[in-house]
Amino acid sequence: MSLVSRLRSIFAENQIMIVLIALVAGLLFPTVFRPIAPFGAYLLVLIFFTSSLRLSLNELLAYAKDWKMAALAAFFMLVFMPIAMWIPPRVFAEDWALPFLIVGAMPTGMTIALIAEYFGGKTTLALVITAVTSLLAPFTIPLVFKYTVGQDVPIPVLQMFTELLLTIVVPFGVAMLVQRRIPTFVKKHDHAWSQISILAFGILIAGIVADTTQGSTVTLGWDEVGILFVMLAYIGGLVWLAYRMAWWRTAGEKATIALCMIYMNNTLALFIGNKYFPTQNVVPRLVILLMIVNVLLPPLKWFAKRASTPAGATPFKKPILP
């Protein structure tokens, strides 16, 4: 296997590396990636279109009918998670309380479709949770911030709904139409759709980080590093709780719910930190937190694979495509 093919297969099977590399690249080279930021909406449309080409409409509708699961996931993510993530640093590390609150209050990231399958989850279920939490977030975020830090954080509801329609609903509808008209072509190039989505995702993250962090810095002391490690373990416990709360679902579906709880909307988090808390210098801390939260994703994949594999069975590995 050539070096290029080997690298391609590594990145295809470890998509979280794209997130981490993009975060670091945007942080270290803001002048290079900042011009990409204005094209973020177009990249999101491309990501959702290519990702939706690989989805099943019937499966999506079936998950959408389970209102109990959707309500439980929305409450856990939009109400319980932000408060649970805010209280410990509010007591022991006040400078980090606001960044943790911002990250915890976010809905599921709109690019969840890219990594749900990789983590042993269900992409269609992930999209349902994304839609539900994104629709409710404009109402829950102001309430959470009002009753925790006492500051109004008005979310542009109409703008957010419009973006949700243009970046998720429309690309999904077009993809379903294309999938129905030329199914053979869509299936034949399935690997290409995945590669395009991953590349666009990395470029999008790098552009967002570069646009929101240029000129901002933060210095970490050893005490803060220790606090972050403790909080990482604490958030890991919350993820485990999210996995267990949907006890009536399969291992793959529970893994999807847990993944959605920690795969926050990076774009919205950076937007809120930059717009409503500019004097607190929270954006660099938000970038650090987003990187730290992503560290939990590989262990989640391992746990989900182990939970879904019967005792004594050998996990199935997908063949590496040329």
Query: How far, in Å, CA of 187 to CA of 233, rounded?
Result: 40
Q: Is the pLDDT of residue 189 over 90?
A: no
Q: Is the pLDDT of residue 82 over 90?
A: yes
Q: Could you give the angle at the alpha carbon of 42 between the alpha carbons of 137 and 104, nearest 5°?
A: 25
Residue 262 vs residue 301, higher pLDDT: 262
pTM: 0.73
Task: Report CA-CA distances (Å) from 82 to 119, 192, 209, 215, 232.
Answer: 24, 37, 22, 28, 14
Query: How far, in Å, CA of 107 to CA of 131, rounded?
Result: 9
Q: Is the pLDDT of residue 277 over 50?
A: yes
Average pLDDT, integer, range 30-45: 85
Query: How far, in Å, CA of 259 to CA of 114, rounded?
Result: 12
Query: How far, in Å, CA of 52 to CA of 176, rounded?
Result: 7
pLDDT score at 157: 65
pLDDT tier for residue 322 given thresholds of 50, 70 and 90: very low
Q: Which of 50-54, 178-182, 211-215 has the lowest average pLDDT?
A: 211-215
**Is 210 a domain residue?**
yes
pLDDT tier for residue 309 given thresholds of 50, 70 and 90: low
Q: Label residue 176 exposed, middle or buried (CB < 10 Å: 0-12, 13-18, 19+).
A: middle
Q: 272-277: which pairs have CB atoms within 8 A and are 24 or more residues apart? A: 272/102, 272/141, 272/153, 273/99, 273/102, 273/212, 274/212, 276/151, 276/153, 277/98, 277/102
Q: Is the pLDDT of residue 315 over 50?
A: no
DSSP state, 298?
A: H
**What is the domain extent for residue 261?**
3-307
pLDDT score at 191: 76
Q: Is the pLDDT of residue 138 over 50?
A: yes
Q: Is the pLDDT of residue 163 over 90?
A: no
**Is 162 a domain residue?**
yes
**Is 79 a domain residue?**
yes
Report how many domains make up the chain.
1
**Is 313 a domain residue?**
no
When the pLDDT of each residue in the chain is averaged and rounded to a whole number, the result is: 78
- CATH no. for residue 199? 1.20.1530.20
Percent of the chain residues topping a pLDDT of 90: 8
**Is 321 a domain residue?**
no
Average pLDDT, integer, range 150-160: 69
Q: Per-residue b/e over 198-231, b at no fewer than 16 CB within 10 Å? A: bbbbbbbbbbbbbbbbeebebeeeeebeebbeeb
